[in-house]
Amino acid sequence: MKSLITAGLLLSSTLAFAVTESKIYDVMYLPKAGTIFGSSELSYGMYQATLHDDTVGDVGDLERTQFKFEQTAGYSVTDSLFLTVGMNYALIDQDYDPEGAASESSSSDGESDPTIKARFRLVDDTAYQFDIIAGATVATGDKKISSEDKDGNNKIGGHTADLGIQYGVKTADLQWATSFIYTRHFEATQKDLGVKNDIDAFNSLALKVDILNHLFEKAYLRSFAALAFDSSYRDDNDTKTVQATHITLGSEFQYALTADLLLRAGVTYLNSENVEVGGIEAREDFFLTFLAGANYQF
């Protein structure tokens, strides 16, 4: 009888370890201390919107296409804390077709501002995990919208700081997590045809739900839904925006080729309300992105 009880305890301990042990596909990924890890992602995005002025109605259609390569590298300082740094390089082409006038084309390209993030595991239980998340984007220059040659850049023009929490549950076949992130966007500077325009600081709140299903063997399906709100802000022209709302839906097929290499392919859909482009409201907008990438650890 004692041997059966002992065997049962050992089996339950093994199962619990299998559930809580960090895997490269985990929604709340947190590898062991000393692990170097990273991700590489290539994406293609399409944006469309109708620009609308309340006084005259629809004023034109806006289309953008975007190729982006994003690279992230990280290091686990302890079993409960990791740090990452990430950047991307983007090529963006824009076409604006105004009502009753010739269409206009412009482009933007270049590297982004670097983003630093940290994750600290406050609770690591067999039943659930609870993390604190913090981060910052460091502005390395003004955001250039356009110039005489109609070229812009890939900067945001100002610093940002993030602070949030994430709670998740992990079983052998299903994982889910929900996160709440507050972002402070500090004052930013934009340049359009050489003219500076300072944007006041504003706040963002984001709620996100992630679900990971184990499909078969090494295959997984990760889906998410996110809702974000941007507070209003003013610029140098005393133009005040209204609160913007963003809804994002996404799904990824993931395949763990090895214990240290995860291949990913997916699509995301973004819809925004009360967003302005050049001071004009963008209606019926959507941003569709197709992506392929890999996560790895050493």
Cβ contact 108:154 at 8 Å: yes
Q: Indicate the CATH number for domain 2-297.
A: 2.40.160.40
Q: What value does the mean pLDDT take over residues 231-242?
A: 76
Q: What is the pLDDT of residue 10?
A: 41
pLDDT band at 232, cuts 50/70/90?
Answer: confident
Answer yes or no: is pLDDT of 214 > 90.
Answer: yes
Kindly list the domain boundaries of the chain, sorted by start residue: 2-297
Q: What is the pLDDT of residue 148?
A: 58
CA 249 – CA 208 distance, rounded (Å) = 10
Answer yes or no: is pLDDT of 210 > 70.
Answer: yes
Higher pLDDT, 142 or 275: 142
Answer yes or no: is pLDDT of 266 > 80.
Answer: yes
Q: What is the pLDDT of residue 277?
A: 67
4 phi, psi to nearest 5 deg = -65, -45
Q: Identify the three-state secondary structure at position 260.
A: coil
Residue 238, phi-psi category: left (phi > 0), alpha (psi -120 to 50), beta (remainder): left
Q: What is the pLDDT of residue 4?
A: 44
CA 212 – CA 197 distance, rounded (Å) = 43
Least confident segment among 34-43, 182-191, 256-265: 182-191
80 phi, psi to nearest 5 deg = -115, 0
Mean pLDDT over all residues of the chain?
88
pLDDT band at 5, cuts 50/70/90?
Answer: very low
Tell me the percentage of the chain whose pLDDT exceeds 90. 63
Q: Identify the three-state secondary structure at position 199.
A: strand
Closest CA to 103 of 150, 66, 147: 150
Q: What value does the mean pLDDT take over residues 94-114?
A: 88
pLDDT band at 78, cuts 50/70/90?
Answer: very high
Q: What value does the mean pLDDT take over residues 219-233?
A: 95
Closest CA to 191 of 181, 179, 199: 199
For β-strands 143-146 and 174-185, DSSP reports them as: unpaired
Answer yes or no: is pLDDT of 52 > 70.
Answer: yes
CA 63 – CA 106 distance, rounded (Å) = 11
pLDDT band at 260, cuts 50/70/90?
Answer: very high
Q: What is the pLDDT of residue 15?
A: 35
pLDDT band at 14, cuts 50/70/90?
Answer: very low
